[in-house]
Structure 1
């Protein structure tokens, strides 16, 4: 492991991260909310710490190895989340301790959207803007992670696209270099953010709310500047706009790039994961609509809007709400939570296990059934028209097994800590799937969770955001051996 090189990069990351305090300082000056000093202190502390780490190792130059990549990625979300908590901890948010600040920062940077804060409407504008900005930065980090780092593991979502599956992404690399790929994806990400902000503004949001919510929409984060989330605006137009951009952001960004370059929608129609993604969202929407309309909780028109909005919001793991979905009738709240396990497409800003993995699990299950009928047949798993090698199937099963094991362990510890079963299940699901809102005591916020529970849920967010193995590999003794 190139330790000096890794430390040097950590210093650079911290120095770069310190500059993210500048926009909230500007917002504080514009609105005169008095919180700019907290961000200035956080800026100086992060900058000086980064410089102190970087300077002794400034001459360390070596080619990064795979293990170095894993460590740098984990540090991106852990170290920056801790430093990102500084301005929140220094702020005057009522009943806000260090653990709460760290939880909020982790939730923002991992684009989870779980919050411990109530009374968002009364917070300084700079604090509100900073929370949204954390999610936007984390969302782009996810895309770069998927393209540049996860393929090293052999089970990354982008590897399934670029090496193992048919379609436009495999047949045409985005750009010859990773740097060029990251730049292309940044362009798409920024373009979607601007388009989303303008759409919100035209629909009636203030410029501040439009920019803030565009950050968390495209990042599929779910933070809002109001306690009532998107429901605060009481606008069906805003809900429709939000649904469209959440749906777009839940799609593999590489597909967006290829479709833009070819000026064609065929890359979407050819992609098996995209078709599965749209099909699943549609099926759950129909079930939710029927359930809401039959229960007479909403009228026909409202049932359509609420069903579409919440199915996309929970299905893409964004976590926005226009009503209290946890109070919906029958099985609907649990159905939506279960939908978040599937999440968005690989290579998107969405969380969850990812649609492509569930699609492969389904196909493998069907193959096993066929083997029972035809024991001597040689059956292969196909995605589109291409046969997948066994190593991909094994990797998907390994990921799923690790996911379930970690989920159960964290949930059992939370129950042992005194949390009821429904709350524990939904809290771990919401954090590991990077969803945010849950059921029971965490339907509104996570302020009632114990300090131990918040630390465990931060870990769950990190596991979910880094797709399990990126973090899990660091916990193995073999990783640290020379």
Structure 2
């Protein structure tokens, strides 16, 4: 463990993050808002804090070890959320305390989309833009962006990339050099965001809303510039565009790269994880539409419109809303919540346990059933035509076990704060899966929850964003032994 290296990298990353305060300054200037001073102050504080941590160790030469990568990743997300909360803490309306400002910042950066703010329509444009931008930066991961730039400062990035990249298999690179891989991911991310914003604008959004909603759509975040979310526009065309970009943003970005390289749109459908992902969306969507129609909740067309949108939004862990699904009949609210546990694909901007892990668990359970019938036979777990090493299977079971165990612990902690069972279950599920919407007392927003509950849920958001082990490993005594 090299504290000087950790401070040097954290400082450099914080300097990089300070630049996130400049676009809101431009937006405030464009709309003649006094928040220019607020974001300028945030920029200066973040920049000089970063320089203060980086400059004393700028010429320190130490190899960055995997252990350092874990610690830097967790510390940076905490520090980033802390500094990201400064504008939210200093804005005049609404008057947020430190807990709420940190919660909102963590929610944005982890692309969870849980909010404590109401009356979004009355907020300054610069604040609204800043919230959306937080999600966009968090979507692909600020550290993945950083490893494309920090090599210029002599900082190796592979350890950071491996601890940041979502999914059970983290060592597949698109290009031979890690910096080129990070750049490729961000070019894809920026390109899809730009196309999404253009589509929203052509569908009737003004330019500001189109850019803001493209940020949270491609980031699978769910923040909106309106309390009614994307349902404020009441436009089936806009909802269709949102569905399309939520679906493709929930796919592995490496697949987008290889599909573009091969110029073969059918490349996606040969991937077993995408097959499972689309099957889950189609299956749950069909059940929801039929149930909404048969119970008379909506007419035929409305059942299709609201059912498909909410299923895609919740299953991909985006969290947009055009209808209050918590009021849907029979088992539908719980079905949607359970679907968010599988989430999106590995290597995407989505949350949840990831579809590939669900597929592997199902295949391993199927193998155990076959072994009961044929004890002496040898069965191999495969994804597509590729055999999955037993080590990967063990890691998946370990991840799911830890996921469930931590879920139970945090739910009990929320129950201890006085929340009811429905609220405790749904808020932990929502934050751990980086989803946003919840049931019970948090069905509208998280504002009324106790401060202790918000800190527990902030921890849950970080656990979900870093896929548990990156954070939990810091609590292991072995991690701190020399």
Report the TM-score when normalising by structure 2: 0.95
Counterpart for residue 136 of structure 2: 136
1:406 maps to which residue? 406
Equivalent residue for 1:159? 169
CA distance in 1 between partners of 2:448 and 2:79 (Å): 25
Cα deviation, 1:39-95, whole Å, max 9, x if unaligned, reads 111111111111111111111122211011111211231110000000100001234
Describe the shift of the 1:387–1:75 C-alpha distance in structure 2 as closer, same or farther (beyond 3 A).
same
Aligned counterparts, 1:101-116, within 5 A: 101-116=101-116
Q: Report how far residue 267 of structure 1 moved.
A: 2.3
Instruction: Please name the residue that 1:260 is paired with.
Output: 260
Q: How does 1:466-481 map to 2 (within 5 A)?
A: 466-481=466-481
Residue 435 (structure 2) pairs with residue 425 (structure 1): no
CA distance in 1, matches of 2:269, 2:422: 39
Asked if 1:460 is matched to 2:463, the reply is no
Output aligned runs, 1:155-234, within 5 Å. Answer: 157=167, 159=169, 162=172, 173-234=173-234
* Cα-to-partner distance string for 1:79-112 (whole Å, 9 max, x where unaligned): 1000000010000123411100000000000000
Q: Distance in 1 between the 2:211 and 2:401 partners?
A: 39
Q: 1:144 to 1:450 in 2, by over 3 A?
A: same
1:98 aligns with 2:98: yes
* 1:118 CA drift (Å): 0.7
Unaligned runs of 5+ in 1: 163-172
CA pair 142-249 structure 1, distance change in 2 beyond 3 A? farther
Between 140-149 and 310-319, report the one with greater CA deviation: 140-149
Residues 45-444 of structure 1 aligned to structure 2 (within 5 Å): 45-141=45-141, 144=144, 148-149=158-159, 157=167, 159=169, 162=172, 173-444=173-444
> 1:140, 1:270 → 2: CA distance?
24
Q: CA deviation at 1:266?
A: 3.3
Q: How far apart are the structure 1 equivalents of 2:389 and 2:79?
A: 37
SS state at 2:456 partner? helix
User: 1:376: Cα distance to partner?
Assistant: 1.4
CA distance in 2 between counterparts of 1:121 and 1:431 reads: 25
- CA distance in 2: counterparts of 1:88 and 1:263, whole angstroms: 44
Cα distance in 2, alignment partners of residues 370 and 149 from structure 1: 39
Question: Match for residue 25 of structure 2?
Answer: 25
* Structure 2 SS opposite 1:193: helix
Deviations, residues 317-349 of structure 1 (Å, cap 9, x unaligned):
000001111111111111001100000000000
Sort the Cα spacing of 1:335 and 1:448 in 2 relative to 1 into closer, same or farther, 3 A. same
1:10 shift after superposition: 0.6
Shift of 1:470: 0.3
* Contact residue 150 and residue 157 of structure 1 kept, 8 A: no
CA distance in 1, matches of 2:307, 2:472: 36
Residues 143 and 161, structure 2, Cα contact 8 Å, conserved in 1: no
Superposed CA deviations along residues 170-205 of structure 1, whole A, max 9, x for unmatched, are xxx521111111111111100000000000000010
Q: Is contact 2:73–2:163 with CA below 8 Å preserved after alignment? A: no
Q: 1:166 is matched with which residue? A: none
Unaligned runs of 5+ in 2: 148-156
Q: For 1:369 and 1:148, locate their aligned partners in 2 and report how far apart those are by CA, in whole Å.
A: 40
CA distance in 1, matches of 2:165, 2:54: 32
- Cα pair 1:135 1:221 within 8 Å, conserved: yes
Q: Is the 8 A contact 2:73 2:160 kept in 1?
A: no
Inter-partner Cα distance in structure 2 for 1:340 and 1:389: 27
Contact 1:317 1:344 in 2 (8 A): yes
Describe the shift of the 1:32–1:211 C-alpha distance in structure 2 as closer, same or farther (beyond 3 A): same
Indicate how the Cα distance of structure 1 residues 151 and 226 shifts in structure 2: closer, same or farther if over 3 A, else same: closer
> 1:224 is paired with a residue of what secondary structure?
coil
Q: Secondary structure at the match of 1:159?
A: coil
Partners in 1 of 2:393 and 2:98 — Cα distance? 42
In the alignment, the residues of structure 2 paired with residue 151 and residue 50 of structure 1 have an alpha-carbon distance, to the nearest angstrom, of 21
Aligned partners of 2:166, 2:139: CA distance in 1, in Å? Answer: 17
Contact 1:158–1:347, Cα closer than 8 Å, also in 2? no
Query: 1-side partners of 2:161 and 2:366: how far apart?
Result: 27
Aligned residues: 472
The CA distance in 2 between the partners of 1:142 and 1:29, in whole Å, is 26
Superposed CA offset, 1:403-440 (max 9, x none): 01111000001001100000000000000000000111
